[in-house]
Amino acid sequence: MKRSPTPPREEVSYPMPEEPAEGAEGVIKISLRFPDGNRVTRRFLKSDPLKVLFDVAAATQKVHPDNLDLDSQFPRFTLRSKGLENKMETVDLHNSMLMVRVNSGGS
């Protein structure tokens, strides 16, 4: 009996937040390291809420932001524990490398 092909997984896309201009006032750089080893370094405003980091990771990984966690290696903490509406400047993320974890649960 011939099996019918599995339909391709529908790709979900999430909007990529706009990146501030190089040299703009209040700009910081943060790197995101994804599970596949790829790394993305982007500019953010210190006044941006932490949620923007999750939005960038979601747009890159094509998964819902709720299915992601971002971890700081030093000091060790999960960004979600800091509250997504807190500003980046309150968590001192300038020049940080954050590890992106995709939680099971799909997109």
Could you say which residues of the chain have pLDDT below 70? 1-12, 105-107
Amino acid at site 86? N
CA-CA distance, 1 to 3, in Å (whole number)? 6
| CA 52 to chain CA centroid, nearest Å | 7
Q: What pLDDT shows up at residue 103?
A: 87
Q: What pLDDT shows up at residue 48?
A: 96
CA-CA distance, 21 to 58, in Å (whole number)? 21
Q: Which residues pair with 27 in a beta bridge?
A: 45
Q: What pLDDT shows up at residue 9?
A: 42
Q: What pLDDT shows up at residue 105?
A: 58
CB count, 10 Å around CB of 34? 15
Which residues, other chains included, contact 23 with Cβ-Cβ below 8 Å and sequence gap of 6+?
none
Q: Quick one: DSSP state of residue 29?
A: E
